Amino acid sequence: MIYNFGRGLLRVLYKLLFRLEGHGLHHVPREGGVLLCSNHISNFDPPTIGILLKRKVHFMAKAELFNIPVLGWLFRELGAFPVKRGGVSKESIKTTLKLLRGGEIIGIFPEGTRSRTGEIGEGNKGAATFALRSDAVVIPVAIMGSYKLFRKMKVVYGPPVDLDEFRENPGTDAAELATARIMSEIVKLKSNNR
């Protein structure tokens, strides 16, 4: 209930303030575990990639935010779950895999940190590891724009990234190779949809 209200409100605000457009929404499966892997340019990114979808999107958020009265409760209601600073804890890994295996959508930013230049950096292996361990569908996402008021922002959802070869032959470098493939798909989406 709260999630649907918040999503509807933010959708209106983002469309008014940032002229937000979504493309390729049909690529996001209507059911089953999905990992949305996006570039990361701003703190506004989590709602940006989630509000255009009909399904609820879960995100990791800094654990400190959950200690703030009311705000912590609100974050949980909106589908966020805590992750400790300095790396992903065992608890957040378990939560992520449980959600994906339970048919939920997780939004993740493989770069791990915001890009100061807007250029897409190297990805960390976390997203690929979650995908390989859960069999979730990986959807690359490209966010384009600068969040300047009344300037157009665009989100492009690409076709699923094929990671079958890494699932069938899980070598020691499977997560690394899968990460490189995911990141190259995000880069391709961005360059093909300017």
Dihedral angle over CA of 142, 145, 148, 151, nearest 10? -120
N residues, the chain: 194
Q: Domain count of the chain?
A: 1
Q: Return the pLDDT at 139.
A: 97
- Structural domain range at position 109: 2-192
In the three-class reduction of DSSP (H, G, I as helix; E, B as strand; rest coil), residue 54 is classed as: coil
| Residues 128-152: b if buried by 16+ CB within 10 A, e if exposed | bbbbbbbebbbbbbbbbbebeeeee
Q: What is the CATH number of the domain that holds 128?
A: 3.40.1130.10
- 120, 188 in Cβ contact below 8 A? no
H-only helix segments in the chain: 2-18, 45-50, 71-77, 90-101, 126-134, 164-168, 174-192
Tokens of 45: 């990114």
Per-residue model confidence as pLDDT tens for the chain (194 residues): 788 888 999 999 999 999 999 999 999 999 999 999 999 999 889 999 999 999 999 998 877 878 888 878 888 888 888 877 666 678 888 889 999 999 999 999 998 777 776 777 787 888 898 999 898 999 999 999 999 999 999 999 999 999 988 887 776 788 888 999 999 999 999 988 87
Taking the model in full, what pTM does it have?
A: 0.90
